[in-house]
Structure 1
Amino acid sequence: MRHRLPHTPAGKYPSPWLRLLILSTTLLGINYIVWRWIGSLNWAAWWIAVPLVIAETYSVIDSLLFGLTMWRLLRRDPPPPPPEGATVDVLITTYNEPIDMVLDTAEAAVAIHYPHRTWILDDGDRGELKEAAAQRDIGYITRSASWSDKPRHAKAGNLNNALFETEGEYILILDADQVPAPEILDKTLGYFRDPEMALVQTPQYFHNVPFSDPLGSQAPLFYGPIQQGKDGWNAAYFCGSNAVLRREALMQLGIRGYVRAVEDGVRRTLYTARKILKKAAAQVDPGQPQVRAALESVRKAVRDARAQLREKRPLADITYEFQQRVDQAARSVVAADVSAMRADLEVIAALQQDPERTSTTLLFDDEALESLTTREWSPLGALESISAMVRAIDVGRDDEAQPMLPMATISVTEDMATCMRLHAQGWRSAYHHEILARGLAPDDVRTMLTQRLRWAQGTIQVMLRENPLVQKGLSLGQRLMYWATMWSYLAGFAALAYIAAPAIYLIFGIMPVQAYSWDFFGRLIPFLLLNQLMFIIISRGTPTWRGQQYSLALFPVWIRACVTAFRNVYFDRPLGFAVTPKTRQEAGAIPWHLVKWQLAAIAMLAVASVIGIVQLYFGVISVLGVGVNLFWVLFDVVILSVVFQAVRYRGHDPEGT
Structure 2
Amino acid sequence: MGATRRHAATSAPRRDGRLLALRVVALLTMVLGVNYVVWRWLESVSWSAWWIAVPLVIAETYSLVDVGLFAVTMWRARRRPEPPPPAEDATVDVFITTYDEPVDLVLRTAVAARDIRFPHRTWVLDDGARPALAEAVRAAGVGYIVRSDDWQDRPRHAKAGNLNNALFRTDGEFLLVLDADQVPDPSILDRTLGYFRDPEVALVQTPQYFTNVPDADPLGSQAPLFYGPIQQGKDGWNAAFFCGSNAVLRREALMRLGIVGYVRETERSVRDALSAARRMLGKARRGAVDPAQARALETLEHGARDALARLHAGEPVAEVTYAFQRQVDAASAALVAADAAQMQEDLRAIAALPVERDSELGAVVVDEQALARLAERDWTPLGAIESVQALVRAVDVDRSAEAQPILPVATVSVTEDMATAMHLHAQGWRSVYHHERLALGLAPEDLGTMITQRLRWAQGTLQVMLRQNPLRLRGLSGGQRLMYFATMWSYLSGFTAVVYLAAPIIFLCFGVLPVTAWSVDFFARFVPFQVASQLLFLVAAHGVRTWRGQQYSLALFPVWIRATVTAAANVWFGRPLGFAVTPKVRGSNRGAWRLVRPQLAAMALLVVAAVVGVVRAGTGLAPWVGTTVNLLWVAYDLVVLSVIVSALRYRGYQGAGEES
Matches within 5 A, 1:20-31: 20-31=24-35
Cα distance between partner residues in 2 of 1:251 and 1:466: 20
Please say which of residues 128-137 and 39-48 is displaced more in the overlay: 128-137
Find the counterpart in structure 2 of residue 624 from structure 1: 625
2:134 matched to 1:133? no
2:265 matched to 1:264? no
Please say which of residues 329-338 and 95-104 is displaced more in the overlay: 329-338
Structure with bigger gyration radius? 2
Cα distance between partner residues in 2 of 1:380 and 1:311: 31
Cα offsets for 1:567-603 (capped at 9, x unmatched): 111011111321111111215x352111100000001
Please say which of residues 538-547 and 242-251 is displaced more in the overlay: 538-547
Whether contact under 8 Å (1:88, 1:117) holds in the other structure is: yes
Deviation, 1:565, is 0.5
RMSD: 1.9
Counterpart code for 2:194: G
Whether contact under 8 Å (1:281, 1:379) holds in the other structure is: no
Cα distance between partner residues in 2 of 1:302 and 1:655: 68
Deviation, 1:608, is 0.6
Whether contact under 8 Å (1:55, 1:494) holds in the other structure is: yes
Whether contact under 8 Å (1:90, 1:174) holds in the other structure is: yes
> What secondary structure sits across from 2:382 in the alignment?
helix
> What secondary structure sits across from 2:248 in the alignment?
strand
Whether contact under 8 Å (1:590, 1:648) holds in the other structure is: no
Matches within 5 A, 1:139-218: 139-218=143-222
Find the counterpart in structure 1 of residue 640 from structure 2: 639
Cα offsets for 1:112-146 (capped at 9, x unmatched): 01111101111111122122222222111111111
Find the counterpart in structure 2 of residue 607 from structure 1: 608
Cα distance between partner residues in 2 of 1:309 and 1:331: 26
The TM-score with structure 2 as length reference comes to 0.90
Counterpart code for 2:204: V
Find the counterpart in structure 1 of residue 255 from structure 2: 251
Structure 2 residue corresponding to 1:456, chosen from 458, 462, 483: 458
Deviation, 1:22, is 1.4
> What secondary structure sits across from 1:318 in the alignment?
helix
Cα offsets for 1:536-581 (capped at 9, x unmatched): 2222221211111100000000000001101111011111321111
CA separation of 1:534/1:307 partners in 2, compared to 1, >3 Å: closer, same or farther? closer
Deviation, 1:655, is 7.5
How much identity, in percent, do the aligned residues show?
Answer: 63
Find the counterpart in structure 1 of residue 230 from structure 2: 226
CA separation of 1:379/1:311 partners in 2, compared to 1, >3 Å: closer, same or farther? farther
> What secondary structure sits across from 2:432 in the alignment?
strand
Deviation, 1:338, is 7.3
Find the counterpart in structure 2 of residue 442 from structure 1: 444
Structure 1 residue corresponding to 2:510, chosen from 484, 508, 511: 508
Cα distance between partner residues in 1 of 2:277 and 2:531: 63
> What secondary structure sits across from 1:52 in the alignment?
helix
Matches within 5 A, 1:56-67: 56-67=60-71
Instruction: Give 5+ residue unaligned stretches, structure 1.
Output: 1-9, 342-376
Find the counterpart in structure 2 of residue 421 from structure 1: 423
Deviation, 1:274, is 1.6
Cα distance between partner residues in 1 of 2:593 and 2:340: 73
Whether contact under 8 Å (2:117, 2:186) holds in the other structure is: yes
Find the counterpart in structure 1 of residue 471 from structure 2: 469
Deviation, 1:638, is 0.5
> What secondary structure sits across from 1:149 in the alignment?
coil
> What secondary structure sits across from 1:244 in the alignment?
strand
Please say which of residues 186-195 and 134-143 is displaced more in the overlay: 134-143
CA separation of 1:110/1:339 partners in 2, compared to 1, >3 Å: closer, same or farther? farther
Whether contact under 8 Å (1:283, 1:378) holds in the other structure is: no
Matches within 5 A, 1:281-300: 281-282=285-286, 284-286=288-290, 289=292, 291-300=293-302
Find the counterpart in structure 1 of residue 94 from structure 2: 90
Whether contact under 8 Å (1:234, 1:429) holds in the other structure is: yes
> What secondary structure sits across from 1:75 in the alignment?
coil
Whether contact under 8 Å (2:398, 2:405) holds in the other structure is: yes
Cα offsets for 1:233-274 (capped at 9, x unmatched): 111111000000111111111111111111111111111112
The TM-score with structure 1 as length reference comes to 0.90
Whether contact under 8 Å (2:282, 2:298) holds in the other structure is: no
Instruction: Give 5+ residue unaligned stretches, structure 2.
Output: 1-10, 344-378
Whether contact under 8 Å (2:463, 2:571) holds in the other structure is: yes
Deviation, 1:384, is 2.2
Find the counterpart in structure 1 of residue 77 from structure 2: 73
Cα offsets for 1:406-436 (capped at 9, x unmatched): 1111111011111111111111111000000
Counterpart code for 1:584: R
Deviation, 1:477, is 0.9
